[in-house]
């Protein structure tokens, strides 16, 4: 560690001690952080206008896992890869995927059934008026539960493109009942150790309504299934201006927060890298998480990334995101909770806000630098990845190719 960083670390430790914060506890939490990266973020992705091809972008599951393993190698906190069943498990033995993942140093994470790409799903999957189509979607989800059993993955991550495009196209309540029935069938087939994460999204591809449009609907559907069904918060799936940290706090209090799909959005479901557009939003969300963790150290929340790196180099973008998540978590742990509680009790609103923002403006980089060194990692993951030459190697070996890619 350079002299300047050592000095900065000491100054930071003093600052945190003044705020009544146990630095060792913060470091232990940062070392235990666990964030899943998605297989599809390593493949070429794009917008509805164009999918730009990048040299070295992954196509096969082997390439995706190998790329994800680089992110884990340099950050130390991304040991699993979320998979999309029809993008990653076509014509393969599940055991082979598990073995391959292990061989490169990662594991299989959340299982995402893919129920939105086939022709039959033009009018929806589990909300579709035709019982045959619903059955197809349910069977695929039941297969996904089996994949979870075989891979040892205990998170079933559900997102549906179901919705309508025009008023009168279908009946809201009939569709709601179809969704309830299908989800319950899948839930009942899950092992007790599995969590069902129900993702909501206010629009797209349905532009008039979506069947699971917001956190309240996801929560209601979850309640109808059982205790292991919960809402999954993708940061890009809200209307602009919505207070996501409030949603997070409410879901935690209700015992219904399954986890996150981290990304950042400015206009819609932009799938930009976390913290790039609105870092303060991420910080305020983490503030709720830090409080909830302190109240219940056994709280189980699945932290996952769901981004589409259509213009940034994919592995670099992922490392940049993971670093942003680490800094955000660390900053949220820098809030002087005692002073905040006192200011809140006194209704000293100016101080309340300042105590929170003081943490946001704290430079936690020396802390992460130290944490990484203590974990046996290079303190600068992005630079270390660049110096490793992996990107040049895959660019040369794989070149520019036609590939599937994901929605993001």
The answer to the question of residue 293 lying near Mn ion (CB under 5 A) is no
Could you tell me which residues come within 8 angstroms of residue 236 by beta carbon, excluding any fewer than 6 positions away?
Answer: 261, 263, 264, 265, 268, 269, 270, 271, 306
The binder of 369, among ligand PSV, Mn ion, none, by C-beta within 5 to 8 A per type, is: none
Decide: 104 and 66 in contact? Cβ < 8 Å: yes
The answer to the question of residue 314 lying near ligand PSV (CB under 6 A) is no
Greatest distance between any 2 Cα atoms in the chain: 68
The answer to the question of residue 323 lying near ligand PSV (CB under 6 A) is no
Give the shortest CB-112-to-ligand PSV separation in angstroms. Answer: 5
Q: What distance in Å separates the CA atoms of residue 314 and residue 45, rounded to the nearest whole number?
A: 10
Nearer to ligand PSV, 40 or 385 (CB): 40
- Residue count of the chain, please give it: 408
Query: Which residues in 228-247 contact ligand PSV (CB under 6 A)?
Result: 234
Nearer to ligand PSV, 123 or 159 (CB): 159
Give the shortest CB-405-to-ligand PSV separation in angstroms. Answer: 9
The binder of 40, among Mn ion, ligand PSV, none, by C-beta within 5 to 8 A per type, is: ligand PSV
Q: In this chain, which of 148, 275, 405, 406 binds ligand PSV, going by CB under 6 A?
A: 406
Nearer to ligand PSV, 64 or 261 (CB): 261
The answer to the question of residue 259 lying near ligand PSV (CB under 6 A) is no
The answer to the question of residue 88 lying near ligand PSV (CB under 6 A) is no
Query: Which residues in 231-270 contact Mn ion (CB under 5 A)?
Result: 234, 261
Nearer to ligand PSV, 198 or 368 (CB): 198
Query: Which residues in 168-227 contact ligand PSV (CB under 6 A)?
Result: 199, 201
The tokens for 321 are: 């995101």
Rounded to a whole number, what is the distance in angstroms from the first to the last CA of the chain?
37
Size of interface with ligand PSV, in residues (CB under 6 A)? 12
Taking CB under 6 A as the binding criterion, the range among 142-150, 312-320, 353-361, 400-408 that sits at the site for ligand PSV is: 400-408
The answer to the question of residue 306 lying near ligand PSV (CB under 6 A) is yes
Nearer to ligand PSV, 201 or 209 (CB): 201
Nearer to Mn ion, 261 or 331 (CB): 261
Q: What distance in Å separates the CA atoms of residue 164 and residue 303, rounded to the nearest whole number?
A: 30
Nearer to ligand PSV, 248 or 343 (CB): 248
Q: In this chain, which of 128, 261, 309, 339 binds ligand PSV, going by CB under 6 A?
A: 261
Could you tell me which residues come within 8 angstroms of residue 349 by beta carbon, excluding any fewer than 6 positions away?
Answer: none
Give the shortest CB-293-to-ligand PSV separation in angstroms. Answer: 24
Residues in contact with ligand PSV by CB under 6 A are 40, 112, 159, 199, 201, 234, 261, 269, 306, 406-408
Residues in contact with Mn ion by CB under 5 A are 234, 261, 306
């Amino acid at each position: 560690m350079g002299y300047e960083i050592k000095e900065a670390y000491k100054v930071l430790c003093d600052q945190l001690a003044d705020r009544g914060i146990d630095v060792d506890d913060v470091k232990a939490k940062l070392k235990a952080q666990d964030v899943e990266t998605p297989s599809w973020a390593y493949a070429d992705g794009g917008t509805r206008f164009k999918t730009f091809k990048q040299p070295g972008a992954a196509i096969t599951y082997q390439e995706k896992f190998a790329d994800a393993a680089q992110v884990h190698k340099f950050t130390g906190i991304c040991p699993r890869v979320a998979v999309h069943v029809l993008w990653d498990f076509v014509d393969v033995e599940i055991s082979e995927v598990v073995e391959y993942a292990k061989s490169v140093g990662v594991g299989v994470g959340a299982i995402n059934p893919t129920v939105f790409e086939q022709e039959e799903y033009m009018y929806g999957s589990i909300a579709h008026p035709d019982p045959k189509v619903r059955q197809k979607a349910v069977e695929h989800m039941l297969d996904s539960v089996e994949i979870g059993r075989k891979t040892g993955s205990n998170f079933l991550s559900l997102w549906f493109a179901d919705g309508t495009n025009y008023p009168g196209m279908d009946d809201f309540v009939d569709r709601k009942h179809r969704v309830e029935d299908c989800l319950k069938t899948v839930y009942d087939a899950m092992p007790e150790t599995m969590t069902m994460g129900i993702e909501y999204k206010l629009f797209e591809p349905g532009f008039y309504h979506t069947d699971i449009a917001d956190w309240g609907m996801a929560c209601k559907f979850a309640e109808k299934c059982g205790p292991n069904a919960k809402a999954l918060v993708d940061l890009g799936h809200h209307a602009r201006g919505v207070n996501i940290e409030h949603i997070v706090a409410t879901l935690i209090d209700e015992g219904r927060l399954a986890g996150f799909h981290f990304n950042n959005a400015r206009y819609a479901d932009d799938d930009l890298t976390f913290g790039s557009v609105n870092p303060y939003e991420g910080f305020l969300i983490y503030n709720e998480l830090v409080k909830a963790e302190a109240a219940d150290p056994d709280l189980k929340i699945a932290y996952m990334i769901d981004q589409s790196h259509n213009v940034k180099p994919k592995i670099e973008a992922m490392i940049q995101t993971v670093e942003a998540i680490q800094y955000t978590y660390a900053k949220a742990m820098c809030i002087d909770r005692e002073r905040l509680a006192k200011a809140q009790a006194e209704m000293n609103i100016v101080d309340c806000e300042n105590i929170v923002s003081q943490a946001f403006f704290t430079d936690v980089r020396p802390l992460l630098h130290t944490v990484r060194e203590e974990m046996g990692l290079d303190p600068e993951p992005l630079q270390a990845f660049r110096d490793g030459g992996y990107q040049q190697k895959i660019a040369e070996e794989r070149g520019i190719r036609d590939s599937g890619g994901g929605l993001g």
